Amino acid sequence: MQRYILKRLLAALPTMAIVGVVVFSIIHLAPGDPAAIMAGEDADYEQVEAMRESMGLLDPIPVQFWRFVKGVSTGDLGESIFSGHSVSSLILDRAEPTLSLAVLSLSISILVSIPAGVLAAWKMNSIFDRVVMILALTGYAVPYFALGYVVIFVFAVKVGWFPAGGYVYMSDNFWQYLHHLLLPSFVLGFAGSALITRMTRATMLEVLKEDYVRTARSKGLGETIVLLRHAFRNAANPVLTVIGFSIAGFISGVVITETVFAIPGMGRLITEAISQRDFQIIQSTILVVALIYVMVNLIIDILYVFVDPRIRYDS
Amino acid sequence: MSNESVTKQELAFQGLREKIPWYISAKDAVLRNPNMLIGLVFISIVVVLALICPLLIKIGILRDPYIFDPLNRLLPPGRSPDGDLFLFGTGPLGRDIFSMVIYGSRISLLVGLSVAILAASIGTMIGILAGYFSKLDDIIMRFMDGIMAIPGILLAIVLMAILGPKVENVIIALTVVDAPRTSRIVRSVVLTIRESQYVDAANAFGASKARILFRHIAPNTFAPVIVQATFLFASAILSEASLSFLGAGVPPDIPTWGNIIGEGRIYFIGHSNIVILPSLGLFFLALAVNMFGDGLRDSLDPKLRGKT
């Protein structure tokens, strides 16, 4: 088992390295000269050159890349081209809203879609199954931002149950924090549920046809035990894989949801940085986000071991 | 053996050998699956409207979506005080939302179709190379993993910031995002086909690598790729709108669904029609394409029926 985990850990390293190379080259291929931006509009050639020198942009690309790698590995993500603030502290400030939103919406969609998928498969072709499948098909096609505005319109403007946007930090007031997060998390969770529900239903349908499920039933076991202990445990692995896949979708969704609900998170940080062409922030934030994605998938790889003992014995 | 003793199975077998023309089997598949039919009908309506839209504007049935009319800004759906009909109301710059929505479908379809074709064909080529040549596999797939670890919309935003706001660039950015996902699917298909008996047989006959690749492997990846392409089409439509909405897509003066929504979002309270009506267009088109794609997958590969 340790060997399996170690193998997974080692496999994540090259992926991270490639993310680093991709992000670094994107930024360096970008037109527009960060030194010229920083030096200001009235700067003459010498001033821009001096700025370029002080930013290390005159060094050969491999040297710059090495500096970038060294910085990242010690947690130094550089400074914002505009404000001069350290990017690591900017990201830390923005991390709580983003992570809260991602965790809450992912929890909502897992809590909704797994029971929905299991029950839909159990009662295949029933009205419940049809409603679930229609909702799942809808979740695929609904644009996050449009759903966000509709939900704001109904629940914030018309009924007034929730605030229309904004964010309250957890340490300031926990209930307010939750109150502000529920609406955006629901929007993101609904859209994210579609894939997980469909996958749960599809794998459950297959597992329910297996001989051991029939055996369990003929032993006289109750349906709940058959469904949960015999069927779902065997369907859990593909479901876990899909959850891992959909994390990327959740992160993309967070960026849009933060804009709709005016939440000051990492997504807003990136979109603001892009409109200002602050490539230092863009580069570092994307690297951090990709790192989170790779870590989450690593955790999921390790969870397989607990869900499916076969992996434990194979390795 | 007399003719009368020909069994039903044998007749069916002969039917298979006669090769049913593709349009007959396509018609059968569509008629057997009502969801696919609904999807196809809706897509066709949108395509026809998008194609004849310039003509409708020319003969005056539709207003020109580029006409700014500050006197008639932010009108609710219905007739203006002057008695002109604005079916969906007008936007913050006085443009007719109905014609903007119809006109906007052109960009959505263009982006969706181009991304689906480009990402599917580039992804297929990469997937075939990685799946067939095991020496390339690790390098290529690690690189694809690296790209896929960057959330799609973020990668697209950054590429747009670099390339600049143009329709072509939206297509390029979304292709870069989507091609790796296709390549992963194709690679897994190729890995299975590579081990199949007919590839062994072709090898034993001394067929060249190129022949095996193009005659035996590539054609067998087409069914999953075509299905994947329909889903790419739907997701590209949504992504294009998201990009435009975030201000990182098509230039803001071009009426696309995302741009209309982005332009109208600060007026949402009180003028929700500006946001909701183009969103509905987006939703129904993406839904129709997904319904069509589901049906296509079911008829191309009955084993996958009901799967995601």
Complex prediction ipTM: 0.83
Q: What is the mean pLDDT of chain B?
A: 83
Question: Which of A18, A23, A284 should be substituted to probe chain B, the one whose Cβ sees the most B Cβ atoms within 10 Å?
Answer: A18
B188 contacts chain A (CB < 8 A):
no
pLDDT value at B66 more than 70: yes
A256 contacts chain B (CB < 8 A):
yes
pLDDT digits (tens, 9 = 90+) for A258-295: 988 999 999 889 888 887 878 788 888 888 888 888 88
User: So what's the pLDDT on residue B8?
Assistant: 59
Contact B149 A19 (CB under 8 A): yes
* Cα–Cα distance for residue pair A123/A121, rounded to 1 Å: 5
Min Cα distance A167 → chain B (Å) is 19
User: So what's the pLDDT on residue B1?
Assistant: 43
Six token digits for residue A11: 């496999």
pLDDT value at A165 more than 90: no
pLDDT value at B169 more than 50: yes
Question: Which of B157, B231, B271, B297 should be substituted to probe chain A, the one whose Cβ sees the most A Cβ atoms within 10 Å?
Answer: B157
User: So what's the pLDDT on residue B10?
Assistant: 62
How does residue B2 score in pLDDT terms, banded at 50, 70 and 90? very low
User: So what's the pLDDT on residue B18?
Assistant: 58
Q: Lowest mean pLDDT: which of A22-26, A109-113, B49-53?
A: A22-26
Note whether B283 and A141 are within 8 A (CB).
yes
Six token digits for residue B60: 């005056």
pLDDT digits (tens, 9 = 90+) for A205-250: 888 888 888 888 888 888 888 888 888 888 888 888 888 878 878 8
Contact A137 B290 (CB under 8 A): yes
User: So what's the pLDDT on residue B6?
Assistant: 56
User: So what's the pLDDT on residue B221?
Assistant: 85
A152 contacts chain B (CB < 8 A):
yes
From chain B, pick out residues whose CB is under 8 angstroms from the CB of A187: none
Residues 6+ apart with CB under 8 A from A225: A216
From chain B, pick out residues whose CB is under 8 angstroms from the CB of A195: 308
User: So what's the pLDDT on residue A212?
Assistant: 87
From chain B, pick out residues whose CB is under 8 angstroms from the CB of A146: 261, 275-276, 279, 282-283
Of A137, A141, A252, the CB nearest to B153: A252
From chain A, pick out residues whose CB is under 8 angstroms from the CB of B152: 248-249, 252
A140 contacts chain B (CB < 8 A):
yes
pLDDT digits (tens, 9 = 90+) for B148-158: 888 888 889 88
Min Cα distance A111 → chain B (Å) is 19
Helix (H) or strand (E) segment spanning residue B7: none
Model pTM above 0.90: no
Of B149, B154, B275, the CB nearest to A255: B154
User: So what's the pLDDT on residue B306?
Assistant: 45
| Cα nearest neighbour of A289 on chain B | B150
pLDDT value at B171 more than 90: yes
Residues 6+ apart with CB under 8 A from A23: A283, A286, A287, A290, B150
User: So what's the pLDDT on residue A38?
Assistant: 67
B303 contacts chain A (CB < 8 A):
no
User: So what's the pLDDT on residue B307?
Assistant: 45
**A43 or B263: which leads in pLDDT:** B263
Residues 6+ apart with CB under 8 A from A194: A113, A135, A136, A137, A138, A139, A140
CB atoms within 10 A of CB A156: 17
Q: Lowest mean pLDDT: which of A93-102, B80-89, B230-239?
A: B80-89
User: So what's the pLDDT on residue A186?
Assistant: 92
pLDDT value at A52 more than 60: yes
* Chain B residues 207-236 within an 8 A CB cutoff of chain A: 234
User: So what's the pLDDT on residue A287?
Assistant: 87
The dihedral formed by the CA atoms of A283, A285, A286 and A291, expressed in degrees to the nearest 10:
120
DSSP type of residue B189 = H
Note whether B264 and B91 are within 8 A (CB).
yes
Question: Which of B108, B143, B145, B282 should be substituted to probe chain A, the one whose Cβ sees the most A Cβ atoms within 10 Å?
Answer: B145
